[in-house]
Every structure is written in structure tokens, then in C-alpha cells.
């Protein structure tokens, strides 16, 4: 109970009274040296059940509470977690994992004391994700797993307590990295059977921290797991922190001010309300903040782009100039992406001048895929070749976006008008915009793709003919037989370097055909107090706190 003391900094008086009552019996007046890591979730957390870890807020919390078979290192390559080792069959269809038999679930009244994890727990946990009754948004993770003729998953098995096997219906090389997703965490059946849907707010896992308290939209508290199974390189048990406290200030500017006052140890992301105060156009801290806290950045596996519906069967495209490849290429070359990033993103992005797969993808681009840089003269030439010299006779093009990206679209609108390309901007509500894109109701639209897993296939799947929306993620309806041939070849290629060569060829084809206009590749931005050590950064913006230390409290 005493770990709850730091919550008083942010909680209302009613809960503060509870804390005081719970700790009034302490007679020891020596300073409390326990370390508590504090961060804010402006969007809130909807569930602490890893089956519903579908957004960053839920993922960050579940990462502290749960473990899976494997985890990702800072370069996003899989490494052991509960699975000590694994083998993959030569045909790429069978994955055999050997488990650490000493991993224990957090204590719960429904569990025997010291209950260890066994392979059958993974069978249950993964089948639970696949079950329609669970309705997990993560069911897609196990789409490649073997099923019977009725569609039931039969590809999970546990021949003994320390061996877990996954059988796929077809090879899927990204599968190992995908298993690092929080969706693939192990959970105890006894607890879920006992409390049902309340598992979302009373989670029991194996992670470095144990759930202690959650008052939704107010505070979440997690304590150190004293029986955690992982150790650092020196053999010291993890985690180092005593507790984690999450606040839920929904206004990002207010939360930023709390960080500046030292009441939060960590802050992530860039918002229009404070970006110009914080950073210059090169992505550097303003002089008034230098030395007061730490700034770290990294490429982020997020591509921001404009999608073009190039399905000639669509009524939207019947008279659209975007059917013409040269018009699409002219748009790609007709505005300065570097200038856009400097002035509208304060340098906190990488201009989208290469392929669709973003920088930061592990082991992918030894040489960048050729994309589109700023070349207004070539853009003018393409317009003339398309039959619209200086844009004369070119119909107005409508670009659909949301309010969050209106500044980027207006910048493009101004730049392209100099070439004679007239654009009208329609602004939609975010939810409506997503639905209209998925249903092919927009011909030219703003979109983004954040990696679900660290493999180029996750991005290139957006251009596979079989994945056309609404059934799949191919919202542009791009179709190219050569691309599909390379895609199928990549799925059966187990050698990573050979697969990467295929991916580069596929990405190059997408750039040539231009069903998208790549705007920029995002960056992770993290601020931390000087007292925080060991907070690592990575291109998926994962938050793993088990090796974080706090040298002193302000």
C-alpha cells in the first residue's frame, strides 16, 4: 500500500484521504527513497487486457504488466523472453519454442501460490485471441496459423509444459517478430474464468510490474514485481523502479507544463500547442530549455502520405486527371517536402523522398529506394506531356483530409498552384474520413500507416491486389502483376537479405506507379527529466521501463 504515496501529487482530495488513512500507521520517519516513474496518457486507457492492446496507450501499460514468448531489442529484432530458444522448420511453417519453466504469474486468489507458466497457458492465451467470443482486435495476428476445414484454429499445441508449437498454413516470415506484440502475451485461464470481463481492470500477468490501482481518467499505479524472472547483464534482478504512476491529463499543453514543472518524468510526442515553443526548425531544443531535460529522437515506423484511388472501375475516377500517371508523378515532384518538414513539423520528420517503407525498418534499406524529390521543372514537363501545359485545361483536384493535417495540405495546395495544379481541400471528421477511405468514397485522401510489426511486408501489403479494401488494407486499389509475383516470392523466402531485395523491388514499383504521394516519415520525440536513466528509444516507440532508473526525486 505504501507505494501509492506519489499519486497524491496528481489525485483529488477524496483519493488522497484514502492514501493518508492507509499509511497513517507508519512510525518510520526516515526519507522514503523509493523511485516512482511518472508519465501521462492524454488519450486515456481503455483496457489493461492485452487482448485489447490496439493503441499506444493500452500497449504501453500492457508492456509493463505482461510478457510473451519473444520481445524486441532496440533495433526491433526478436530476442528471447519467456521462450528461451526456438527453431523454425525448413519449410517455414512450424515454430517450436522452449520455455523458461521458472516464470511465475503475479499473485491472485484464483491461482495457486507461485503458479508458474506452462506451454498450455500459451495455447489458451492464443486461442482466446482467435475466439470470436473475445472479439479481440488482435485476431489478425494469427491469420497465418493452421485451421481446420471449418476455419477453427488448430495450429497451437503443447506436447509438454516446456514446449510450445505453432503451425502455420503457409509460410509467413514476419511471424516471429509479430509474436512480440502485446496481443501475444500469456494470461492465466483461472483468473479470467473467475473474473471474466473484469480482467480489463484487474490484470494478472508475468511482467516486471504488478497492477495495483486504476481509477479511470484519474490514475493508474503499478508496483515492482519482486519475483520477476529477468536480470540485467550484471545479474541484477529487474526492474529497478519501485513503481509506475500514470496520470490522465487530456490537454496535451497542460500535460507538457506538468513535465516542465518536474511533475512528470517522461513526455512523448509533438503537439501544435507547444511545438514552436519547444523546438526550432531543425528539431533542436530552444535555448531556454537546453540542459533542463533530455531530448531524444529516432526514426518512427510511420509513413504519412496521400493516397490516390487508381481503380479505373470506380465512378470517382472516370473523369479524374489522377488516372494519368504523369499527373500523379508531377504532384509528387511539385512541392518541397524538406521545407514542409522544417516549417510545419519543426524538423521532427524525415522528408518523404524515398519509398513507402520508412527509415528505421530493421535491416531493410542499405540503399534508399528512389522516390520523388522537389523538381518543379520536371513537374512542369510532365504536365505538358500529359496535355496540360502550365496546368491549362487541368480540372480541379479535390484532396480530402482531417483538421489535424490541414496545414500540410494547404502548404501543398499553395506550392502546386505555382505549377498550375488547382486543388480544393475538403476537411472531414477523423472517424468519417477513415470510413470513407475504407469504402473507396474518396479519390485523393490523406492517410498514414504505423507499423504493426517491424517487417517491410507490413507496409507493402497495402499494395497487394488480394488485399483490396474494404476486405484488406489496399485502399488505393493498386494492382500490378509483377508486384504480386514478388510479394508471393517474398512470403516463401526465409533468407532475410534475399527477402529485402524483393521488398526493395516491390517498393520501387510502387514509387514508379505513384498510387501514393509520400509526405514524410515520422520521428519519435521523447523528453525525460535529467534524473531518468536507461530510458531507451526505438522506431516503434515502445515504452519498456524495466531497465529505467531514477537517480533522485525532485
Q: What is the reported pLDDT for 441?
A: 94
> Do 60 and 146 reside in the same domain of the chain?
yes
Specify whether 251 is located in the same domain as 380.
no
Whether 284 is covered by a domain: the verdict is no
Indicate which CATH number applies to the domain containing 515: 3.10.105.10
* Crossing angle (nearest 10°) for helices 325-333 and 376-385: 160
Q: What is the pLDDT of residues 58-88, one digit of tens each?
A: 999 999 999 999 999 988 999 999 999 999 9
d(CA 421, CA 423): 6
- Give CA–CA dist 211/204, Å, rounded: 7
Determine the average pLDDT of the residues in 452-479: 94
Closest CA to 412 of 340, 486, 324, 318: 340
Indicate whether 482 pLDDT > 70: yes
The 3-class SS string of 219-256 reads EEEEEECCCCCCECCCCCECCCCCEEEEECCCCHHHHH
pLDDT, the chain, mean: 92
Q: Quick one: pLDDT at residue 445?
A: 97
- What are the C-alpha distances in Å from 394 to residues 319, 327, 375, 397? 11, 10, 20, 9
Q: Is 463 helix (H, G, I), strand (E, B) or coil?
A: helix
CA dihedral 499, 305, 509, 364 (to 10 degrees): -20
In a domain, 21, yes or no: yes
- Whose CA is closest to 259, among 6, 531, 529, 542? 529
Helix (H), strand (E) at residue 119: helix 119-130
Percentage with pLDDT > 70 across the chain:
93
Choose among 205, 230, 234, 210: nearest CA to 220. Answer: 210
Q: 268 near 524, Cβ under 8 Å? A: yes
Percent of the chain with pLDDT over 90: 85
Give the three-class secondary structure for 497.
helix
Question: Quick check: 402 pLDDT over 80?
Answer: yes
Residue 46 grid coordinates: 481503455
Consecutive H or E run containing 308: strand 293-308
Q: Specify the 3-state DSSP secondary structure of 246.
A: strand
**Cis ω before 77 (30° cut-off from 0):** no
- Is residue 503 assigned to a domain? yes
How far apart, in whole angstroms, are the C-alpha atoms of residue 378 and residue 170? 45
**Which of helix, strand or coil describes residue 511?**
helix
Q: Tell me if 275 is assigned to some domain.
A: no
Q: Let me know if residue 345 belongs to a domain.
A: yes
Of 216-225, 312-321, 327-336, the poorest mean pLDDT is in 312-321
14 pLDDT above the threshold of 90: no
Q: What is the mean pLDDT of residues 96-115?
A: 96
State the burial class of residue 79 (Cβ atoms within 10 Å of its Cβ: 0-12, 13-18, 19+): exposed
Residue 280 in domain: no
**Do 454 and 468 share a domain, yes or no?**
yes
Q: Please name the residues in contact with 193: beta carbons below 8 A apart, sequence gap of 6 or more.
A: 110
The residue segments making up the domain with residue 448 are 300-523
Over 60: is that where the pLDDT of 24 sits? no
226 and 132 both lie in a single domain: yes
CB neighbours (10 Å) of residue 50? Answer: 30
Give the C-alpha separation, 549 to 532, whole Å. 6
Q: What is the CA radius of gyration of the chain?
A: 25
DSSP state of 468: B
**In a shared domain, residues 401 and 362:** yes
Closest listed residue to residue 56, CA positions, set 548, 547, 543, 552: 543
481 close to 345: Cβ distance less than 8 angstroms:
no
In a domain, 278, yes or no: no
Q: Do 314 and 438 belong to one domain?
A: yes
The whole-angstrom separation of Cα 475 and Cα 302 is 17
Residue 268 lies inside a defined structural domain of this protein:
no
Query: At 165, which CATH number?
Result: 3.40.190.10
Distance, CA of 155 to CA of 130 (rounded, Å):
11
Q: List Cβ neighbours of 191 (8 Å cut-off, separation of 6 or more).
A: 105, 108, 110, 111, 199, 202, 204
Burial of 149 (0-12, 13-18, 19+ CB in 10 A): exposed
CB 457 within 8 A of CB 490: yes
**d(Cα 244, Cα 212) in Å, to the nearest integer?**
10
pLDDT at 5: 41
Q: How far is CA 434 from the centre of its chain?
A: 18
Residue 367 has pLDDT above 70, yes or no: no
Over the stretch 430-451, which tens digit does the pLDDT of each residue have? 999 999 999 999 999 999 999 9
Q: Which residue has the cell 491486389?
A: 465
Peptide bond into 470 cis (omega under 30): yes
Tell me: do 511 and 540 sit in the same domain.
no
Contact present, 81 and 544 (Cβ < 8 Å): no
What's the rounded Cα separation, in Å, for the pair 146 and 152?
9
Q: pLDDT category, 31, cuts 50, 70, 90? A: low
Mean pLDDT of 290-294: 95
Whether 16 has a pLDDT exceeding 60, the answer reads no
| pLDDT surpasses 80 at 269 | yes
Whether 372 and 235 map to the same domain: the answer is: no
* Same-domain pairing of 40 and 166: yes
- pLDDT computed for residue 497 by the predictor: 87
Torsional sign, CA 188, 125, 86, 456 = negative
CB of 68 within 8 A of CB of 181? yes
Q: Taking the model in full, what pTM does it have?
A: 0.89
- The three three-digit cell numbers of residue 127, written as one number: 486461442
Domain count of the chain?
Answer: 2
pLDDT band at 25 (very low <50, low <70, confident <90, very high): very low
The number of helix segments (H) and strand segments (E) in the chain equals 15, 19
Tens-place pLDDT, residues 151-169? 999 999 999 999 999 999 9
Q: Is the pLDDT of residue 21 over 90?
A: no
pLDDT at 495: 87
Q: How many CB atoms lie within 10 A of CB 9?
A: 15
The runs of H, that is alpha helices, within 418-480 are 430-438, 457-460
Say if residue 196 is in the same domain as residue 94: yes
- Half-sphere exposure in the Cβ direction for 41 (13 Å, CA): 24
The C-alpha cell at 531 is 534524473
Model confidence over 244-266: pLDDT tens digits?
Answer: 999 999 999 999 999 999 999 99
Q: Which of 87-101, 238-252, 310-324, 449-463 has the lowest mean pLDDT?
A: 310-324
Which alpha helices (DSSP H) does 216-324 contain, by range? 252-260, 275-278
User: 495 and 543: one domain?
Assistant: no
Task: Looking at the structure, tell me whether residues 504 and 533 fall in a common domain.
Answer: no
Amino acid at each position: 500500500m505504501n507505494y501509492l504515496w506519489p499519486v497524491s501529487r496528481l489525485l483529488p482530495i477524496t483519493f488522497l484521504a484514502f492514501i493518508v488513512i492507509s499509511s497513517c500507521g507508519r512510525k518510520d520517519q526516515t526519507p522514503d527513497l523509493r523511485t516512482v516513474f511518472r508519465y501521462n496518457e492524454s488519450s486515456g486507457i481503455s483496457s489493461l487486457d492485452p487482448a485489447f492492446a490496439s493503441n499506444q496507450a493500452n500497449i504501453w501499460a500492457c508492456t509493463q504488466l505482461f510478457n510473451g514468448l519473444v520481445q524486441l531489442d532496440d533495433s526491433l529484432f526478436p530476442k528471447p523472453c519467456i521462450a528461451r530458444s526456438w527453431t523454425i522448420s525448413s519449410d517455414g511453417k512450424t515454430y517450436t519454442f522452449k520455455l523458461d519453466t521458472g516464470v511465475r504469474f503475479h499473485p491472485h486468489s484464483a491461482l495457486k501460490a507461485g503458479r508458474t507458466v506452462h506451454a498450455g497457458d500459451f495455447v489458451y492465451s492464443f486461442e482466446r485471441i482467435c475466439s470470436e467470443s473475445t472479439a479481440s482486435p488482435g485476431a489478425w495476428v494469427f491469420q497465418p496459423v493452421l485451421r481446420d476445414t471449418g476455419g477453427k484454429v488448430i495450429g497451437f499445441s503443447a506436447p509438454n509444459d516446456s514446449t510450445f508449437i505453432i503451425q502455420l498454413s503457409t509460410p509467413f516470415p514476419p511471424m516471429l517478430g509479430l509474436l512480440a506484440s502485446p496481443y501475444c502475451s500469456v494470461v492465466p485461464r483461472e483468473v479470467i474464468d473467475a473474473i471474466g470481463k473484469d480482467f480489463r481492470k484487474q490484470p494478472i500477468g508475468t511482467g516486471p510490474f504488478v497492477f495495483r490501482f486504476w481509477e479511470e481518467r484519474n490514475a493508474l499505479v503499478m508496483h515492482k514485481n519482486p519475483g520477476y524472472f529477468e536480470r540485467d547483464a550484471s545479474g541484477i534482478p529487474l526492474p529497478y523502479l519501485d513503481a509506475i504512476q500514470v496520470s490522465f491529463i487530456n490537454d496535451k499543453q497542460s500535460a507538457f507544463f506538468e513535465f516542465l514543472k518536474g511533475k512528470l518524468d517522461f513526455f512523448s510526442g509533438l503537439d501544435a500547442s507547444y511545438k514552436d515553443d519547444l523546438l526550432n526548425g531543425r528539431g533542436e531544443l530552444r535555448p531556454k530549455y537546453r540542459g533542463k531535460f533530455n531530448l531524444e529522437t529516432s526514426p518512427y515506423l510511420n509513413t504519412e502520405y496521400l493516397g490516390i484511388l487508381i481503380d479505373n472501375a470506380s465512378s470517382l475516377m472516370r473523369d479524374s486527371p489522377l488516372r494519368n500517371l504523369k499527373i500523379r508523378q508531377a504532384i509528387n515532384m511539385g512541392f518541397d517536402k524538406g521545407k514542409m518538414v522544417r516549417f510545419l513539423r519543426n524538423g521532427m520528420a524525415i522528408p518523404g523522398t524515398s519509398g513507402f517503407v520508412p527509415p528505421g525498418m530493421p535491416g531493410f534499406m542499405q540503399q534508399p529506394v528512389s522516390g520523388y524529390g522537389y523538381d518543379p521543372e520536371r513537374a512542369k514537363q510532365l504536365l505538358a506531356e500529359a496535355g496540360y501545359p502550365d496546368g491549362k485545361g487541368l480540372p480541379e483536384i479535390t484532396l480530402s483530409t482531417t483538421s489535424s493535417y490541414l496545414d500540410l495540405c494547404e502548404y501543398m495546395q499553395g506550392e502546386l498552384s505555382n505549377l498550375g495544379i488547382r486543388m480544393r481541400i475538403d476537411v472531414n471528421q477523423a472517424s468519417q474520413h477513415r470510413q470513407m477511405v475504407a469504402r473507396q468514397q474518396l479519390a485523393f485522401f490523406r492517410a498514414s500507416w504505423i507499423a504493426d510489426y517491424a517487417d517491410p511486408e507490413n507496409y507493402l501489403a497495402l499494395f497487394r491486389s488480394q488485399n483490396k479494401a474494404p476486405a484488406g488494407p489496399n485502399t488505393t486499389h493498386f494492382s500490378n502483376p509483377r508486384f504480386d509475383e514478388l510479394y508471393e516470392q517474398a512470403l516463401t523466402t526465409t533468407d532475410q537479405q534475399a527477402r529485402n531485395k524483393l521488398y526493395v523491388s516491390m517498393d520501387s514499383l510502387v514509387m514508379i506507379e505513384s498510387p501514393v504521394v509520400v509526405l514524410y516519415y515520422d520521428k519519435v520525440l521523447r523528453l525525460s527529466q535529467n534524473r531518468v536513466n536507461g530510458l531507451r528509444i526505438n522506431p516503434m516507440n515502445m515504452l519498456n521501463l524495466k531497465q529505467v532508473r531514477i537517480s533522485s526525486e525532485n
